[in-house]
Amino acid sequence: MSKRLILILAVLLGIGLCGTTYAAVQNVKVSGDLGISALSRDQFDLTRGVKGNSVDDSESMFISQARLRIDADLTDNVATTVRLINERTWDTETNTNSDIDLDLAYATMKEFLYSPLSLTIGRQELRFGNGLVIGNANASTNISAVTNGVPTDLSLRKAFDGIKAVLDYDPLMINVIYAKIDETSGVGGSKLNDDTNLYGAYASYNLGGKYASKVDAYLFDKKKSSTTSKSGAIDIKTVGVLLSAKPIEDLTTSLEGAYQFGHRDSTQHKKRAYALEFISNYALPKVKFTPTVGFTYAYLSGDKNSGDNKDKAWDSMYYDQAVSNIAGAILPFSDVSVYSLNGNAKLMEDLNVSMVWAYYRLNQRLSAIQSNKRDSLGNLYTYTMSPDSKNLGYEIDLTGTYDYTEDVQLGLTFGYFNPDKAFAANNRRDATQLIGSMKVTF
C-alpha cells in the first residue's frame, strides 16, 4: 500500500506542478528507457551435483526493466528529479513485482547560501571515481530486486537516500555527503538506535596541462550504531587517493589506492585493510575498426588469521564495478587479485564488439567464500574452497551491440568462467551465461 500511495502522490504532484503552479515551472523534461533481456545461466553454483539432478544448476528467464524520469526546472537555481522503476521477470504477476517503485526523488538547489555551493537532497545516485568504494547503495543487500525475480547483479537500482553538498572552486571540486543506508524498526514500528549511516567527503583537483592530470582524495565513514553496547557498533573508515592522467595521446590511465581502518562486528575486530587498482585504456582512432585495448589490475586485501583481533579483509562498502560478468556476480568483492585484458572494435558503423579476459586469484586462503550476490530465488552463492591453491580461475566475456536506430540498441553477451584449484573438487563446474537484450531510450 505504501508504494501505491507514493505513486499516487507523485502523480498528484505532477498534476499540481502542471496546474496550480504552472507559472513557476520553467522547463519540464520527460525521459526514460525500457530494457528487455533474455537470460540463460548455467552452473553458477559451480557444483558437481548428482547426475540427472539439475536443481540450482541453471536458470533462464525474460526480464523487463522500465524507468520513467521527470526533470523539472522550477527557477534558475532550483530543479527536481523523479524517476520511477519497475523490474520483474515475465509471467510473475503479483502485487510485489508489478509495483512501480521510487528510484530517484531529489531536489537540487544551486548557489545555495552563496554561489559556489549546490545542495542535492533526496534519493539520488552517488558514484565517485571508478566506483571502487562508492557507487551502488544496494551492492551488498539488493533484496528488492531479488523479490521481483531479477538477479542482484543485473538490477538497475543503485540510488542512496541522502544529502550531497558540492563546492565548486574550479579547478577544485569538493563533495560532502550523508546517506541513510539502513533505518531499522522495532516492535510496533518504533525506531531503534542501530541504523547504518554513510558519511563522506570527496575532493577532485584538475591539474590540466599536457597530461590532463587529475587528483582525487576521499574519506568515507560507514557507521552502524548498537542498541546493546558500544562493543556492538561498527565503524569502518576508508581513505584513498585516485590519480588520473593521459601520459600520451589516446592513452588514459588511473591509479587508486585506499586504506580502511576502524572496527567491525561485535567482537571489535580492528579493521586494517587496503585496496589498489590500476586501469589503462589505449585508443587507436586511425586504425581500421578504431579499436581500443586496455589492462586492469586490482588488489583487495584478505585476512590470513581470523583468530586475532585484526580484520585485514577489504570491506566492499558500496562498490559499483565488475571486471567481468560471471565472476562479478558470484565472487565477493574482497580478498582477491584480478588481472584483465579488454578490447573493443567497431566492425561496422552501427556494430560494436568487445572482449574481456580476466584472471582471479585469492590473496589469502579460505575454507569457504560467500558472495554478496543473490540468484533469482534470493539465494546467496556459497562455495567450499580447497587449501591447496589460491587460483580461482579465469573468465572470458564476448559482447556485441548493434544500434538498430539512434533510440534502439540490440545486444548479445556470452560469458564463460572456468574455476581453478582454489575451489574444492565438487565446486569446479564451469559456469556460462548468455544474455540477449534490447534497450529503447526515449
Calculate the alpha carbon distances from 385 to 241, 362, 375, 421 in Å: 33, 11, 20, 8
| CA 69/CA 82 separation, integer angstroms | 6
Total number of domains constituting the chain: 1
Which range of residues forms the domain containing residue 228?
Answer: 2-441
The answer to whether the beta carbons of residues 150 and 157 sit under 8 Å apart is no
Query: Is residue 184 helix, strand or coil?
Result: coil
DSSP state of 427: G
The answer to whether 97 touches 146, Cβ cutoff 8 Å, is no
What would the pLDDT profile of 389-407 be if each residue is shown by its tens digit? 999 999 999 999 999 999 9
Integer Cα distance of 302 and 327 in angstroms? 17
Rounded mean pLDDT of the chain?
87
Rounded Cα distance, 303 and 312, in Å = 5
Percent above pLDDT 70 for the chain:
84
Give the rounded distance of the alpha carbon of 255 from its chain centre. 20
User: Domain with 93 in it: what CATH number?
Assistant: 2.40.160.100
Instruction: Note the pTM of the prediction, 2 decimals.
Output: 0.87
Phi, psi of 341 (to 5 degrees): -120, 140
Contact call for residues 382 and 367 (beta carbons, < 8 A): no
* Percent of the chain at pLDDT exceeding 90: 65
Whether the link from the prior residue into 419 is cis, omega within 30° of 0, is no
Which cell goes with 132? 571502487
Q: CB–CB of 238/272 below 8 Å?
A: no
- CA 21 to CA 42: how far, in whole Å? 54
Q: Rounded to an integer, what distance in angstroms lies between the CA atom of residue 317 and that of residue 330?
A: 17
Check residue 97 and give its pLDDT.
Answer: 56
Asked if 68 contacts 7 with a C-beta cutoff of 8 angstroms, the reply is no
Do the bridges between strand 408-419 and strand 292-300 make them parallel or antiparallel, or are there none, so unpaired?
A: unpaired
DSSP state of 352: E
| Each residue's pLDDT tens digit, 17-57 | 444 444 477 899 999 999 999 999 999 888 865 554 555 56
Handedness of CA 178, 160, 144, 300 (dihedral sign): negative
Arithmetic mean of pLDDT, 127-132: 96
Per the DSSP assignment, residues forming a β-bridge with 403 are 409
Q: Cell numbers 562455495 correspond to what residue?
A: 383
Q: How far is Cα 166 from Cα 108, in angstroms, rounded to an integer? A: 11
